[in-house]
A and B are shown apart, each in its own frame.
Chain A
Amino acid sequence: MLDETQQDVLRMGSLVEEAIAKAVDALTRSDITLADEILRFDDYIDDLNVLIETNCLNLLALQQPMASDLRVIAAMLDIVIDLERIGDHACDIAQITKNLAGAPPAKPPVDIPRMAAKAREMVRQALDAFANRDAALAHAVPAKDDEVDRLYRKIFRELIELMIREPASINRASNLILVASYIERIADHSTNICERVVYTVEGVPKNLKRSVVEFNAAIAQADEMLHGHEKASSE
């Protein structure tokens, strides 16, 4: 069952990647039919989330897994939360496409599809790292978040300038800022997935967003404090 549950996590990941691609495609082409399809699609993602959670809990209760199996199950319970949130963000983008349906046609800034492509690549590679237990890849993926953040800041600035220049664009521009923020969150979620993969493989929690040196120093300090307290108690 552990193996099949891992396959289900990858299935959920595949659905989520497709949802992101379709959501941005629907936005770019103002395709309401596709936007509706994404909103219905989300039910499959949520169903898989429930199935995986249930299977993980059953594994914990019935098989009392140890060591790496235990870490894998703990990781999966966290990963599906991130995948489910990514699916929700795809739905949010689809909903914005529907909200903007009546507005005058205008293409979203070219950087939004570019940002979405990078975020989707991060999700894919995070799941590749999970599928292959590839800690090196899991360490490398979060660095791409810098480029996503840079694009987000650029889009934000351009849309604010647009709103100042053309007040009639405020409705559309503010919605596109939301779209960019959802994509930025998708990239953050993929970094979370990478952290779970690193934990699964290396057995030590790591925060890949902060510098490794800083975070490990904090862990070492906490560890010292804990052992110092235990030693003092035993004496």
Chain B
Amino acid sequence: MNTAGAPRASDVEATLHERFLALVQAAPVGVIVADARGQIAAFNPAAAAILDVAAERAIGRTLIESVRNFELDRRIAAALRQGADSDGEIANVANERRLRVRVVPLPRADGLRDALAFIEDITELRDLAAIRRDFVQNVSHELRTPLTAVKIMVETLQGGVGSQAQASFLDSIARETNRMITLVEELLDLARLETGKLQLTLAPVDLGELLRKAGETQAARAASLGIELSVRAPDAPVTVLGDRDKLMQVVLNLLDNALRNTPSGGRVSAGVRVADGAAELVVDDSGVGIPADALPHVFERFYVVDPSRARNKSGTGLGLAIVKHMVESHGGTVRAESELNAGSMFVCRFPL
């Protein structure tokens, strides 16, 4: 304090500096302060988390020595040397993140400059944008293909064709229309499942009996594809509390997926059992298998491992996503195991 009782300018400056540092430390976004020599004077916990660099490894060192991001280093250097302001997206290759970075120069009383960088991790935002984009693209494609076919067939019919061709075209129109309806219904189901709005009508359901019925509906299709389909269920009921129609959809989707990905001469087998206090539904096949890098993604919507391998390209890519959500809505779990060119196995577990 000076003799008049007012605080000295140096005390005020020290207090402001302390408050500034406290603000930097508490900020929810990454904050880096570089001094006029380019050395890091402040590096808050958010910056340490976003960049995966401990503060003690950064303070007192230059950015390129500690963080080693060329673009961030360049922007800070531009702020220090030319007083340049910058705002944009950069990649942080070290931890594969996308960052939004704003760098501003901080003029000092001695004519030099410090630089202040704000950093935000926008990786998730960019991933979500990409998922949304892919989803819209996939849905558009899945609807446009059958619609185009229907349009052409309708135009041909309008032009007049013989009765045999007419019957064939009408069959195709019916088939494509059903395919579009199935896609829309599956999308609606998925939306309801994801928002928790799907209504389940719960009652005791014998999984074994369900599997036998599902096997009967797929038997003719399996035979026409030259695939041996076998179904094993114990005589004693394996009862779970569930929505019968939704559980039937789970079984049918798994059988459909197995038949699509198994070549002629192969086998698909499905079984129900009690294991470790839970009811298990197991579907395995001797098909083309799933590569290790694709396995974590098979339950994602529209994910198709390799479109060129799928026998029947009329699949919507939603079947397994629906299986996962349906099973989880029943308090269960589903997992996939696979080996490339040796087949896959899907196991759903339900509480008894």
Q: Which residues of A contact B (CB under 8 A)?
A: 7, 10-11, 13-15, 17-18, 21, 104, 106-107, 110, 120, 124, 127, 131
The SS class assigned to the A binding surface is: helix
From 66 to 101 in chain B, residues with beta carbon under 8 angstroms from any chain A beta carbon are 68-70, 73, 91, 93-94, 96
User: Are B65 and A14 closer than 8 Å at their CB atoms?
Assistant: no
Interface bin, chain B: 10 to 19
> What is the CB-to-nearest-CB distance from A168 to chain B, in angstroms, rounded to a whole number?
12
Which residues of B lie under 8 Å from residue A7 when comparing CB positions?
62, 64-65
Which residues of B lie under 8 Å from residue A17 when comparing CB positions?
68, 93-94
Interface: B293 (CB within 8 A) = yes
Q: Which 10 A-B residue pairs are closest in the complex by CB-CB distance?
A: A110-B293, A14-B70, A21-B93, A10-B64, A18-B93, A14-B68, A131-B65, A15-B70, A17-B93, A7-B64
Given contacts A110-B292, A110-B293, contact A13 B93 (CB under 8 A): no
> What is the CB-to-nearest-CB distance from A116 to chain B, in angstroms, rounded to a whole number?
12
Q: How many angstroms between the C-alpha atoms of A8 and B238 in the bound complex?
A: 69
Given contacts A110-B291, A110-B292, A131-B65, contact A11 B93 (CB under 8 A): no
Q: Which residues of B contact A (CB under 8 A)?
A: 62, 64-65, 68-70, 73, 91, 93-94, 96, 291-293, 306, 308
Instruction: List, sorted by A's number, 30 A–B pairs whose CB atoms are closer than 8 Å.
Output: A7-B64, A7-B65, A10-B64, A10-B65, A10-B68, A11-B64, A11-B70, A11-B73, A14-B64, A14-B70, A14-B73, A14-B93, A15-B70, A17-B68, A17-B93, A17-B94, A18-B70, A18-B91, A18-B93, A21-B93, A104-B308, A106-B306, A106-B308, A110-B291, A110-B292, A110-B293, A120-B93, A124-B68, A127-B68, A131-B68
Q: How many angstroms between the C-alpha atoms of A11 and B96 in the bound complex?
A: 18
Which residues of B lie under 8 Å from residue A104 when comparing CB positions?
308
Cβ-Cβ contact count across A and B, 8 Å cutoff: 39
Which residues of B lie under 8 Å from residue A107 when comparing CB positions?
306
Q: How many angstroms between the C-alpha atoms of A147 and B292 in the bound complex?
A: 18
Point out which of A18, A104, A106, A127 has the most chain B C-beta atoms below 10 A from its C-beta.
A18
User: Are B68 and A13 closer than 8 Å at their CB atoms?
Assistant: yes
Closest B residue by C-beta to A15: B70
Closest B residue by C-beta to A130: B65
> What is the CB-to-nearest-CB distance from A75 to chain B, in angstroms, rounded to a whole number?
16
Which residues of A lie under 8 Å from residue B94 when comparing CB positions?
17, 124
Closest B residue by C-beta to A105: B308
> What is the CB-to-nearest-CB distance from B64 to chain A, in angstroms, rounded to a whole number?
5
> What is the CB-to-nearest-CB distance from A132 to chain B, in angstroms, rounded to a whole number?
8
Point out which of B69, B70, B292, B306 has the most chain A C-beta atoms below 10 A from its C-beta.
B70
**With A10-B68, A18-B93 given, can you name 6 additional A-B contacts, CB distance below 8 Å?**
A14-B73, A18-B70, A21-B91, A21-B93, A107-B306, A120-B93
Q: How many angstroms between the C-alpha atoms of A2 and B73 in the bound complex?
A: 18
Q: How many angstroms between the C-alpha atoms of A14 and B308 in the bound complex?
A: 38
> What is the CB-to-nearest-CB distance from B292 to chain A, in angstroms, rounded to a whole number?
6
Q: How many angstroms between the C-alpha atoms of A106 and B307 in the bound complex?
A: 10
Which residues of A lie under 8 Å from residue B96 when comparing CB positions?
21
Point out which of B93, B94, B96 has the most chain A C-beta atoms below 10 A from its C-beta.
B93
